[in-house]
Structure 1
Amino acid sequence: MPIDMLALDGAYLVRPQVFPDDRGLFLEVFNQPDFQEVIGHELTVAQVNCSSSRRGTIRGLHGVSLPPGQARYATCVRGSIVDIVVDVRLGSPTFGEHVPVVLDDQERHALYLAEGLVHGFAPLSDEATVVYLCSSTFSPAASFQIHPLDPELSLPWPRDPAPILSEKDKMAPTLRTAMDRGILPTYAECLAHIEKLRQTGGLPR
C-alpha cells in the first residue's frame, strides 16, 4: 500500500490497491504494518466518524490541541470531496500553507494527518460520505476551529453553490486571530509528540 508524504510535514496520501471483479470490488482501507513502516508508529484508533454532506457544504477547518491532539485517517466512501489540509503549527516552515487533495469512491485514496494539522472538506459530487479514523475521542475543550473562508488563507473551495457552514464554523476565528488568542499548537510540541509515539509504538502515554 503506497503511502506518499505531501508538501506539508505530517500529511500523507495513501493509495490502496483496488481489486474489482464482476461482484464489485475489494480493497484494504487501512493496513497497520504498511502505515507503521512509513509513519514510524502505529495508528491508535480511538474513534471512527462518518459524515454525509451535500454539495455546497464546507466542513472545517478543524483541529485538536495537544494534549491530547488527534491524528486523522480519512477516506471518501461515496461520491468525491476536496479535502484541504492547512499547517497551523506555530514555527513550522510551512505555517499558513495548504494542500488540497481529492478523495473519491473511484481511486479510493485516503489522507492521513498527524497531530497539529487542521483540515476541512467539501463535496465535489451532489452528495459525499466520508469515514475517518481518529487517534483520540472527541474533546470539546481541546477542539478548535479556523474559519474556512479566511481571506488570507484563500483556500480553493468549490465556488458553486454558495457555501453552507455550521454555526460553529461561521463563528470561527481567522488564522491570524487564532494565533493572537494563543490557541494554535507549536511545531516543536507536535514533533515532540510524534517522537514520543514512535518511542512507545503509537500509544500516547
Structure 2
Amino acid sequence: MRIRELGIGGAFLVEPKIFPDSRGMFLEVFKQPAFAEAVGHPLNVAQVNCSVSVRGTIRGLHAIHLPGQARYVSCPAGAIRDIVVDIRQGSPTYGQHVAVELSEDNRHALYLAEGLAHGFAPLSDQATVFYLCSATWSPENSYEINPLDPDLDLPWPRDREPVLSDKDRAAPSFKEAERLGILPSYADCQARYAELAAAANGATR
C-alpha cells in the first residue's frame, strides 16, 4: 500500500496493491499501521457512510467545523472525481484545490484531514462512495461552500447540467464564506493535527 500526500497538506492518496487471480482480486482497502505511519496518527472510525449518485450529480463542497471530521473516501463501484479545496485561512495553499479519480478500477482512496473541504462527481453512469469518518456527523457543525463558485473554477465534469441538492446550490461562495467567518484557520488546524499525533504517541508508550 502506497500513501502519498497530495499538493495540499492533509490530503493523502491511498494506492493499495491489487492481487488479481482467476477468482477475481484481493486488496487491503485500509491498513491502520500504514495509515498512521504516513499521516502521523491512526484513524479513529466513528461512522461509515455510503452514497450512490448518478452521472451529473455534484455532492459538495462540504466541511465540518473543528475539531472536525476526517474522512477516508473510496469508490467501490463506478468512478468519481473527488476535489479537495484548502479552506484553511493562512495555509500556504489557501484557496487551491487538487482533484483525483477514485474508481472500481484503480481502487484508490482519499484521506482528508479536518479543516479541508471536498466534493465529488461521478464519471460513470452511477457511482457508489464509502466514507470512513473520524467523528459522527452533526448538522450544527457542518457547512457548505458552493461547488460552482466561478472564483474556485473547479474541474467538474462538463458533459451535462449539474444536479445539486438545494443546500449545496444555495451555499455561499468561497469569498462569502470567508466574510461570514466560518472558515477555519490554518493555525487551529495545525494545532488539531499536533493534538492527534501527540495522543497517538502517548498511546504507544
In 1, Cα distance between equivalents of 2:5 and 2:27: 21
C-alpha distance in 2 between matches for 1:202 and 1:128: 38
Give the 3-state SS of the residue equivalent to 1:51 in structure 2: strand
* TM-aligned CA deviation for residue 25 of structure 1: 1.1
Other-structure match for 1:133: 132
SS at match of 2:138: coil
Q: Tell me the equivalent position of 1:57.
A: 57
Q: CA deviation at 1:107?
A: 1.1
Task: Answer yes or no: is the 8 Å Cα contact 1:146–1:172 preserved in 2.
Answer: yes
Cα deviation per residue 1:40-82 (whole Å; 9 max; x = unaligned)? 1110000000100000000000000113x01000011001000
After TM superposition, the structure 1 = structure 2 runs for residues 112-127 of structure 1, keeping only pairs within 5 Å, are 112-127=111-126
Aligned to 1:149: 148
SS at match of 1:92: coil
Q: 1:41 maps to which residue?
A: 41
The farther-off stretch of 17-26 and 141-150 is: 17-26
Partner of 2:23: 23
CA distance in 2, matches of 1:153, 1:198: 31
Structure 2 residue 180 is matched with structure 1 residue 192: no
Q: CA deviation at 1:202?
A: 8.6
SS in 2 for 1:141: helix
Q: In the alignment, what sits opposite 1:172?
A: 171
Q: Distance in 2 between the 1:133 and 1:186 partners?
A: 24
Please tell me whether residue 3 in structure 1 is matched to residue 6 in structure 2.
no
- Determine if contact 1:85/1:118 at 8 Å carries over to the other structure: yes
Distance in 1, Cα, partners of 2:182 & 2:61: 14
Unmatched segments (≥5 aa) in structure 1 = none
- In the TM superposition, what whole-angstrom CA distance separates every residue of 1:18-58 from its partner, at most 9, and x where no partner exists? 11112111111000000011111110000000100000000
Q: Report the equivalent of 1:92.
A: 91
Equivalent residues of 1:42, 1:202 under 8 A apart: no
CA contact (8 A) 1:43 1:202 kept: no
Letter in 2 for 1:100: A
Equivalent position SS for 1:33: helix
Q: Distance in 2 between matches of 1:187 and 1:147?
A: 21
Structure 2 residue identity aligned to 1:53: S
Show the counterpart of 2:14.
Answer: 14
The whole-number CA distance in structure 2 between the counterparts of 1:102 and 1:42 is 24
TM-score (norm 2): 0.97
TM-score between the two structures when normalised by the length of structure 1: 0.97
Q: Is the 8 A contact 1:14 1:111 kept in 2?
A: yes
1:42, 1:9 → 2: CA distance? Answer: 17
Distance in 2 between residues matched to 1:58 and 1:98, nearest whole Å = 16
SS of 2:33 mapped into structure 1:
helix
Aligned-residue sequence identity (percent) comes to 61
Q: Is the 8 A contact 1:44 1:202 kept in 2?
A: no
